[in-house]
Amino acid sequence: MQTVSPIEKDSPSLRIFFGDVRKMSANEVANGEVALIMTSPPYYNAPFDYPGLFADYEEYLDLLRTFAAQSKRVLGKGRICAIVTDDMLVRQEKRGRGKKYPIVADTTKIFVEEGFQYRDRITWVKPTGYTRISRRSGVVLQHPYPMYFYTDNIQESILLFQNGTFDYEQLKSLRPEVLEKSRIDTSRLNSENWNMSVWNITNVLPKSGRVEEGVAAFPEEIPRRLIKLFTLSGETVFDPFLGSGTTLKVASELGRKGIGYEMDLELKKVIRKKLALSRKRIGPSHLMEEKAGARKLCKTLQTNIRRQRSVTMGDKRKSFRASISPL
Ligand SMILES: C[S@@+](CC[C@H](N)C(=O)[O-])C[C@H]1O[C@@H](n2cnc3c(N)ncnc32)[C@H](O)[C@@H]1O
């Protein structure tokens, strides 16, 4: 078995830190204590979620490099880091066209360079009626000639990286009840096609008033599958970009411990609500702490999004040419 750190032995079942994960230390998450990282980093400067969060793409890649190094440090030997991410189309300047950034390829390169094995890539497909896609395919309908074709994106990647070789002998020395509790329901796995490299899962629908409003949350079904497939009952799942707290909600429901890191202090209320954590319940089994780099982010981003939307609408009204922009 991997060395169990003192933090892990007596730690609360939920630990949530508000701070910049780049500044995380072993006092918060110990070396090798995590069985699965389940996360989704910010989507670069995604127009609907994070416009202007990063000064440029290099700053974003730096965040990914630190995230990879931190992941290597906290993950147990042979364990998995699962990352939900996607290439991102970002408008360059006011009336400019979008530029597509190869985030999936760059994330893969960075994790492999950090010493992870590239284990798998699952394609998460959303329903075709997905409401937040930009209708780039409309360009070829307006101009049915070669070179006007762009796709409407209804997919994301779930990247799986492995921290060295897993020792399956560990499973043989487990208490039988722990192994039994961790058994995977293979009839469900087969009937829902978990074994396939394409997962059809409905996204979190952008209804107003939902608890995750303003957060690019993934659906619970993604962490539910991956936590069952890659952790034993009682082990620890870590989400370094916690957002609304989806990973920890599911981890808790499945009898796993959870650790989350989130920079945005404005999400404290959202996380409490999603995890049904009243102030009273922050006790020995739950820990919430503010660390270096925590800041208020949500409202600033919402203002940027509104500004970006009004620029887009303004452009469309002013100029027919804007309507053939693929962004
Ligand atoms: C894509 S969202 C995660 C959504 C989450 N999976 C959910 O289901 O709600 C990414 C999150 O990372 C946070 N974030 C961005 N930079 C960060 C950093 N350096 N350290 C910690 N959190 C960060 C953002 O505030 C955002 O909430």
Nearest to 123 by CA among 87, 153, 151, 158: 158
Q: What share of residues in the chain are helix, strand, coil (percent, to 5)?
A: 35, 20, 45
Domain count, the chain: 1
Residue nearest atom 25 in ligand 1 by C-alpha distance = 264
Place of tokens 């409003």: 213
Give domain status of residue 48, yes or no: yes
- Measured N-to-C along each axis, helices 57-74 and 103-113 cross at an angle, to the nearest 10 degrees, of 40
pLDDT digit string, tens, across residues 83-113: 999 999 888 766 667 899 999 999 999 999 9
Residue pLDDT tens, the chain, 327 long: 444 444 445 678 999 999 999 999 999 999 999 999 999 999 988 777 778 889 999 999 999 999 999 999 999 999 999 999 999 988 876 666 789 999 999 999 999 999 999 999 999 999 987 666 777 888 999 999 999 999 989 999 999 999 999 999 999 999 999 999 999 999 999 999 999 999 999 999 877 788 888 889 999 999 999 999 999 999 999 999 999 999 999 999 999 999 999 999 999 999 999 998 866 555 668 899 999 999 998 777 777 666 666 655 454 444 334 344 455
- Is residue 1, in this structure, part of any structural domain at all? no
> What is the atom index within ligand 1 of the atom nearest the CA of 20?
20
What spacing in Å lies between the alpha carbon of 262 and ligand 1's midpoint?
6
Nearest to 75 by CA among 85, 83, 63: 83
| Ligand 1 site, CB within 6 A | 20-22, 40, 42, 63, 212, 215-218, 241, 243-244, 246, 261-264, 267, 297
Q: What is the CATH number of the domain that holds 258?
A: 3.40.50.150
Of 263, 296, 299, best ligand 1 pocket probe by most atoms within 8 Å of the beta carbon? 263
Count of beta carbons in the 10 Å neighbourhood of residue 93? 6
Q: Please choose from 221, 242, 268, 301 the residue to mutate so as to test ligand 1's pocket, defined by most ligand atoms within 8 A of CB.
A: 242
pLDDT recorded at residue 323: 40
Domain enclosing residue 29, as ranges: 6-324
177 assigned to some structural domain: yes
